[in-house]
Amino acid sequence: MRYFTSPYNFIQPDVRRVKIYDTTLRDGEQTPGVKFSKEQKVEIARKLDELGVHSIEAGFPVISQYDEDAVKAVANSRLGAQVICLCRSKQKDIDAALRADVDGVIVFLSVSDLHLKYKLHTDLQSSVKMASEAIEYAKAHGLFVQLSAEDATRTSLENLFALFKAAEERKADRLGIADTTGCIRPEGMKYLVERVRKNFNIELSVHCHDDFGLAVANSLAAYEAGIDAISVSVNGLGERCGNAALEEVVMALYALYGVDLGFKTEVIQELSEMVSRFSGVPIPINKAIVGSNAFRHESGIHVAAVIKCPFTYESYEPQIVGQTRRLTFGRHSGTEGVREKLKACNFEISEEELAEVIKTLKHLPVDSKPIDNGELCDFVSRVLREKGLRK
């Protein structure tokens, strides 16, 4: 067994396969200050492909010649994943996508009253017509087409269904529900997806932003309601507060829902660090799945228990995501944890000596660096020499 999560997760099992499409190279790059080079995009795409994601949203090619070239470089990298890109509901955007050699496009348009009035300066009928023409044009050129409703979570069902009905009639391959401002809660997302699912016999996807810290929760709620594809981004990178984090969605599906996507999850940590390095956005130490503290323990009670059985304070093996467990020793350390760790290292120590080591740990300066697993034996030897207990 590689994970031990709550048995209550599986009282009513509903294990379905779902597609994961990654938007790190598009929405992730829209993070203020982030710009990937063409070579970096290709390297990230290859690592995403190694992980096993189904689709990679490589960028927004119409923005510039540079962006078009970068998307084309990804598309021509001989990946197993489908390569798609973002397009407005305009022919010139789709032409740029065609020049970039992608497999498909995400055509986006909003029909929320707010966007119709203040952003698009048009009416519902005109917007639906624009989207319909874009879908027809893309399909006529052999592209996979997802029609995504921007600001869907603030759009009336009447407007949303009018757009989706037109897309379905024009043979779009998938409909997308975008929580553009991250403003819905999980129950609302389930309701919305269920309503769309009931009225349309076509693949559905969800794209969630993290403005209230609910992007992953909303993505999982959408999964429970019958969604077919989930948009994610490595480290949650994306505009404003970011998107649903790839590593969190993938591991939640695996360990909380029992959904084995067939992914090579061991590359998650390497992928996360690569994106952090290329983007210049650091990984918080307490970040779920990939943070440096995700499998790091210092509390004496915890360390002692983890040495005996890691599942006492971990719910899955760190190796699953390419992480390693780290035991840290400091003011919070306890006698049993230190004793057990030294025993595992074949370091013999008397009770008197151990008491001196614990006393020293408890009085370490507040600003002192924590003592990691591999440093403990050297630390203990030094303390015992300083106390005159050993030569």
* Whether pLDDT at 237 is above 80: yes
* Whether pLDDT at 364 is above 90: no
CB environment 24-41: b (16+ within 10 A), e (fewer): bbbbbbbbeebebebebb
Q: What is the mean pLDDT of residues 236-244?
A: 98
- Residues 177 and 89 occupy one common structural domain: yes
Q: What CATH number corresponds to the domain at position 200?
A: 3.20.20.70
User: What confidence category does residue 110 fall into, taking pLDDT thresholds of 50, 70 and 90?
Assistant: very high
Exposed / middle / buried, residue 135 (Cβ in 10 Å: 0-12, 13-18, 19+) = buried
- Residues 157 and 57 occupy one common structural domain: yes
* Whether pLDDT at 204 is above 90: yes
Residue 10 is assigned to a structural domain of this protein: no
- Residues 228 and 326 occupy one common structural domain: no
- Residues 83 and 186 occupy one common structural domain: yes
Exposed / middle / buried, residue 282 (Cβ in 10 Å: 0-12, 13-18, 19+) = exposed
* Whether pLDDT at 267 is above 80: yes
Q: By the 8 A CB rule, do 290 and 323 touch?
A: yes
User: What confidence category does residue 369 fall into, taking pLDDT thresholds of 50, 70 and 90?
Assistant: confident
- Residues 319 and 207 occupy one common structural domain: no
* pLDDT of the residue at 14: 76
- Residues 54 and 184 occupy one common structural domain: yes
The residues, ordered by sequence, that sit 6+ positions from 391 with a Cβ below 8 Å of its Cβ are 385
User: What confidence category does residue 40 fall into, taking pLDDT thresholds of 50, 70 and 90?
Assistant: very high
Q: What is the mean pLDDT of residues 119-139?
A: 97
* Whether pLDDT at 232 is above 90: yes
Instruction: Output DSSP code: residue 116.
Output: I
- 94 is written with which tokens? 């789709």
* Whether pLDDT at 373 is above 80: no
Give the residue from 218, 249, 279 where a domain finishes.
Answer: 279
* pLDDT of the residue at 15: 83
> What is the DSSP annotation of 271-302?
HHHHHHHHHT-PPPTT-TTTSTTTTEE-SHHH
In the block, residue with structure tokens 């403003």: 183
Give the residue from 209, 244, 279 where a domain finishes.
Answer: 279
The residues, ordered by sequence, that sit 6+ positions from 370 with a Cβ below 8 Å of its Cβ are 298, 328, 329, 330
Looking at the 3D structure of the chain, how many domains does it have? 2
- Give φ, ψ of 86 to 5 degrees: -90, 140
Residue 4 is assigned to a structural domain of this protein: no
Residue 7 is assigned to a structural domain of this protein: no
User: What confidence category does residue 374 fall into, taking pLDDT thresholds of 50, 70 and 90?
Assistant: confident
- Residues 244 and 181 occupy one common structural domain: yes
Residue 288 is assigned to a structural domain of this protein: no
- Considering the chain, what percentage of its residues have pLDDT values greater than 90? 80
CA–CA distance, 332 with 300 (Å, rounded to integer): 6
CA–CA distance, 18 with 38 (Å, rounded to integer): 29
Domain of 356 in residue numbering reads as 296-386
* pLDDT of the residue at 389: 84
Residue 287 is assigned to a structural domain of this protein: no
Tens digit of each residue's pLDDT (9 = 90 or more) over 290-321: 999 999 998 889 988 998 999 999 999 999 99
* Whether pLDDT at 98 is above 80: yes
CA–CA distance, 129 with 51 (Å, rounded to integer): 39
Residue 354 is assigned to a structural domain of this protein: yes
User: What confidence category does residue 239 fall into, taking pLDDT thresholds of 50, 70 and 90?
Assistant: very high
Residue 1 is assigned to a structural domain of this protein: no
* pLDDT of the residue at 95: 99
Tens digit of each residue's pLDDT (9 = 90 or more) over 322-342: 999 998 888 888 888 888 888
Q: What rounded mean pLDDT belongs to the chain?
A: 96
- Residues 136 and 255 occupy one common structural domain: yes
Residue 169 is assigned to a structural domain of this protein: yes
- Residues 269 and 316 occupy one common structural domain: no
In the block, residue with structure tokens 């959408």: 222
* pLDDT of the residue at 5: 98
* pLDDT of the residue at 300: 86
The model scores a pTM over 0.85: yes
Q: What is the mean pLDDT of residues 40-59?
A: 99
